[in-house]
Protein backbone atom coordinates (compact mmCIF):
# COMPACT_ATOMS: atom_id res chain seq x y z
CA UNK A 1 0.00 0.00 0.00
CA UNK A 2 2.87 2.38 0.80
CA UNK A 3 4.41 1.97 -2.66
CA UNK A 4 1.08 2.71 -4.32
CA UNK A 5 0.51 5.70 -2.02
CA UNK A 6 3.98 7.10 -2.77
CA UNK A 7 3.37 6.69 -6.51
CA UNK A 8 0.02 8.47 -6.15
CA UNK A 9 1.67 11.32 -4.19
CA UNK A 10 4.25 11.83 -6.95
CA UNK A 11 1.48 11.74 -9.55
CA UNK A 12 -0.64 14.23 -7.60
CA UNK A 13 2.13 16.77 -6.99
CA UNK A 14 3.13 16.58 -10.65
CA UNK A 15 -0.49 17.10 -11.76
CA UNK A 16 -1.69 19.70 -9.23
CA UNK A 17 -0.10 22.64 -7.47
CA UNK A 18 -0.38 21.20 -3.96
CA UNK A 19 0.62 23.73 -1.34
CA UNK A 20 -0.10 22.05 2.01
CA UNK A 21 -0.05 18.66 3.69
CA UNK A 22 -3.79 19.01 4.28
CA UNK A 23 -4.42 19.52 0.56
CA UNK A 24 -2.28 16.47 -0.23
CA UNK A 25 -4.16 14.40 2.37
CA UNK A 26 -7.50 15.49 0.86
CA UNK A 27 -6.41 14.51 -2.65
CA UNK A 28 -5.12 11.15 -1.40
CA UNK A 29 -8.43 10.54 0.38
CA UNK A 30 -10.33 11.42 -2.81
CA UNK A 31 -8.12 8.89 -4.64
CA UNK A 32 -9.14 6.17 -2.18
CA UNK A 33 -6.23 6.23 0.27
CA UNK A 34 -6.94 6.45 4.01
CA UNK A 35 -4.24 8.71 5.46
CA UNK A 36 -3.57 10.77 8.55
CA UNK A 37 -1.58 13.98 8.75
CA UNK A 38 1.27 11.99 10.36
CA UNK A 39 1.29 9.55 7.42
CA UNK A 40 1.39 12.38 4.88
CA UNK A 41 4.19 14.11 6.81
CA UNK A 42 6.22 10.88 6.90
CA UNK A 43 5.60 10.26 3.18
CA UNK A 44 6.80 13.78 2.32
CA UNK A 45 9.99 13.16 4.30
CA UNK A 46 10.58 9.70 2.79
CA UNK A 47 10.00 10.95 -0.75
CA UNK A 48 12.32 13.90 -0.03
CA UNK A 49 9.75 16.33 -1.40
CA UNK A 50 10.57 20.01 -1.32
CA UNK A 51 8.60 23.19 -1.76
CA UNK A 52 9.29 25.37 -4.76
CA UNK A 53 8.02 28.83 -5.57
CA UNK A 54 5.69 29.11 -8.56
CA UNK A 55 4.13 32.49 -9.36
CA UNK A 56 4.74 33.66 -5.80
CA UNK A 57 3.12 30.59 -4.24
CA UNK A 58 4.77 27.56 -2.67
CA UNK A 59 4.04 24.02 -3.89
CA UNK A 60 5.45 20.55 -3.35
CA UNK A 61 7.82 19.10 -5.94
CA UNK A 62 10.06 16.06 -6.35
CA UNK A 63 13.59 17.37 -6.52
CA UNK A 64 17.01 15.81 -6.89
CA UNK A 65 19.96 17.59 -5.32
CA UNK A 66 22.19 16.53 -8.20
CA UNK A 67 19.85 17.58 -11.03
CA UNK A 68 21.65 20.88 -11.71
CA UNK A 69 25.00 19.09 -11.99
CA UNK A 70 23.96 16.58 -14.65
CA UNK A 71 26.01 16.77 -17.79
CA UNK A 72 23.89 17.35 -20.89
CA UNK A 73 25.68 14.58 -22.80
CA UNK A 74 24.41 11.95 -20.34
CA UNK A 75 20.89 13.29 -20.62
CA UNK A 76 21.16 13.18 -24.42
CA UNK A 77 22.37 9.56 -24.34
CA UNK A 78 19.43 8.61 -22.11
CA UNK A 79 16.94 10.42 -24.36
CA UNK A 80 18.41 9.00 -27.58
CA UNK A 81 18.68 5.41 -26.37
CA UNK A 82 15.53 5.07 -24.29
CA UNK A 83 12.65 2.90 -25.54
CA UNK A 84 10.69 1.91 -22.41
CA UNK A 85 11.01 0.98 -18.74
CA UNK A 86 9.35 -1.35 -16.28
CA UNK A 87 9.86 -2.16 -12.63
CA UNK A 88 10.02 -5.42 -10.70
CA UNK A 89 10.13 -4.31 -7.05
CA UNK A 90 13.56 -2.69 -6.66
CA UNK A 91 14.80 -3.64 -10.14
CA UNK A 92 14.31 -1.14 -12.95
CA UNK A 93 14.50 -2.61 -16.45
CA UNK A 94 15.17 -0.08 -19.20
CA UNK A 95 14.76 -1.13 -22.84
CA UNK A 96 16.94 0.75 -25.29
CA UNK A 97 17.59 1.04 -28.99
CA UNK A 98 19.71 -1.94 -30.09
CA UNK A 99 23.35 -1.39 -29.18
CA UNK A 100 22.65 1.53 -26.81
CA UNK A 101 22.22 -0.28 -23.48
CA UNK A 102 25.84 0.08 -22.38
CA UNK A 103 25.83 3.81 -23.13
CA UNK A 104 22.54 4.30 -21.28
CA UNK A 105 23.84 2.29 -18.30
CA UNK A 106 27.02 4.38 -18.23
CA UNK A 107 24.94 7.57 -18.35
CA UNK A 108 22.74 6.34 -15.49
CA UNK A 109 25.81 5.50 -13.42
CA UNK A 110 27.38 8.89 -14.19
CA UNK A 111 24.32 10.70 -12.85
CA UNK A 112 25.15 9.42 -9.35
CA UNK A 113 21.54 9.13 -8.20
CA UNK A 114 21.61 7.96 -4.61
CA UNK A 115 18.72 5.58 -5.23
CA UNK A 116 20.70 3.52 -7.78
CA UNK A 117 23.17 0.94 -6.45
CA UNK A 118 24.39 0.15 -9.97
CA UNK A 119 23.48 -0.77 -13.54
CA UNK A 120 24.39 -3.63 -15.85
CA UNK A 121 23.70 -3.75 -19.57
CA UNK A 122 23.28 -6.12 -22.44
CA UNK A 123 22.65 -5.05 -26.03
CA UNK A 124 19.22 -3.44 -25.67
CA UNK A 125 18.41 -3.86 -21.96
CA UNK A 126 19.69 -2.17 -18.81
CA UNK A 127 19.02 -3.56 -15.35
CA UNK A 128 19.32 -1.00 -12.55
CA UNK A 129 19.52 -2.27 -8.98
CA UNK A 130 17.56 0.28 -6.98
CA UNK A 131 17.88 0.47 -3.19
CA UNK A 132 14.13 0.12 -2.46
CA UNK A 133 10.90 -0.38 -4.37
CA UNK A 134 9.86 3.16 -3.37
CA UNK A 135 13.13 4.47 -4.83
CA UNK A 136 12.33 2.66 -8.09
CA UNK A 137 9.22 4.81 -8.45
CA UNK A 138 11.29 7.94 -7.80
CA UNK A 139 13.89 6.97 -10.40
CA UNK A 140 11.17 6.23 -12.95
CA UNK A 141 9.69 9.67 -12.30
CA UNK A 142 13.12 11.31 -12.74
CA UNK A 143 13.59 9.52 -16.05
CA UNK A 144 10.13 10.57 -17.25
CA UNK A 145 10.93 14.20 -16.42
CA UNK A 146 14.21 13.98 -18.34
CA UNK A 147 12.44 12.49 -21.37
CA UNK A 148 9.80 15.25 -21.37
CA UNK A 149 12.40 17.98 -21.87
For residue range 60-93, list pLDDT tens digits in order.
887 654 444 456 778 888 999 999 999 999 999 9
Task: Dump pLDDT digits (tens) for 100-118.
Answer: 999 899 889 888 888 999 9
Based on the fold, state whether residues 58 and 29 are members of the same structural domain.
Answer: yes
On whether the pTM is more than 0.85, the answer is no
pLDDT computed for residue 47 by the predictor: 86
**Distance in angstroms (rounded) separating the CA atoms of residues 98 and 3:** 32
Based on the fold, state whether residues 53 and 76 are members of the same structural domain.
Answer: no
Residue 15, domain extent: 2-62
Q: Which residue has the higher pLDDT, 62 or 127?
A: 127
Based on the fold, state whether residues 86 and 138 are members of the same structural domain.
Answer: yes
Q: What is the CATH number of the domain that holds 17?
A: 1.10.10.10
- Is the distance from CB of 109 to CB of 116 less than 8 angstroms? yes
Based on the fold, state whether residues 83 and 26 are members of the same structural domain.
Answer: no
* CA 120 to each of CA 96, 105, 106, 133, 143: distance values in angstroms, whole numbers, following the listed order: 13, 6, 9, 18, 17
The tally of domains found in the chain comes to 2
Based on the fold, state whether residues 95 and 137 are members of the same structural domain.
Answer: yes
Based on the fold, state whether residues 30 and 103 are members of the same structural domain.
Answer: no
Amino acid sequence: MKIERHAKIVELINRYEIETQEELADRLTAAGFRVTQATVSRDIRELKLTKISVDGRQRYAVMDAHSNALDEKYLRVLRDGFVSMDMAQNILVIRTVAGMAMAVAAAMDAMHWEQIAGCIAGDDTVMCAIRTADDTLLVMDKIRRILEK
